[in-house]
Amino acid sequence: MHAQPQPASAALRLGEPVPAEALGAIGRAWQLHHFKWDTQVGDTSVLCPQPLLIPRSQWDWLAVQAERATREIYGLERAIAACPALQRLVGVPPPLRKLLGTAAPADGLRTLRFDFHPTAEGGRLS
């Protein structure tokens, strides 16, 4: 998906370093309460000790892009579920195709992840 260009005020910067004890507490909270289990490799933390700070306008832009991408994914899911030809085209295995014909629309709770990448041509989403 190509996102619209980012606002001109999209200056990213690093904040003040978080004390080691606080960073450890953040990592434990992510692991225990937010299912983020890859906060370290071996005995080495992969958490940046400095927060990434972005302007409010950039945060609002990211939120709009994530909501737009979510609606697009839901629409694609419904289109694929309703069309056996599309299911074959995108490689849905035959046993799963049988389930799609009987399943209720998948508008329930789920987790989606979008990674935003700033580029010279504007934001990109993966």
Q: Per residue in 42-93, pLDDT tens?
A: 888 888 899 999 999 888 988 999 999 999 988 888 888 888 899 999 999 9
Computed over every residue of the chain, the mean pLDDT equals: 83
| Structure-token pair, residue 14 | 């690093």
**For the chain, domain boundaries:** 15-51, 54-106
Q: Is 52 helix (H, G, I), strand (E, B) or coil?
A: strand
Residue in the block written with tokens 């306008």: 57
Looking at residue 50, its pLDDT comes to 94
- Across-strand partners of 2? 124
| Structure-token pair, residue 110 | 């789920």
Confidence of residue 8 (pLDDT cuts 50, 70, 90): very low
Other C-beta atoms closer than 10 Å to the C-beta of 5 total 12
Between CA 58 and CA 40 the distance in angstroms is 28
Query: Between 3 and 40, whose confidence is greater?
Result: 40
Looking at residue 103, its pLDDT comes to 59
pTM value? 0.66
Query: Between 38 and 23, whose confidence is greater?
Result: 23
- Across-strand partners of 41? 44
In degrees and rounded to multiples of 5, residue 123 shows phi and psi of -75, 145
How far, in Å, are 26, 29, 30 from residue 41 at the CA level? 16, 17, 15
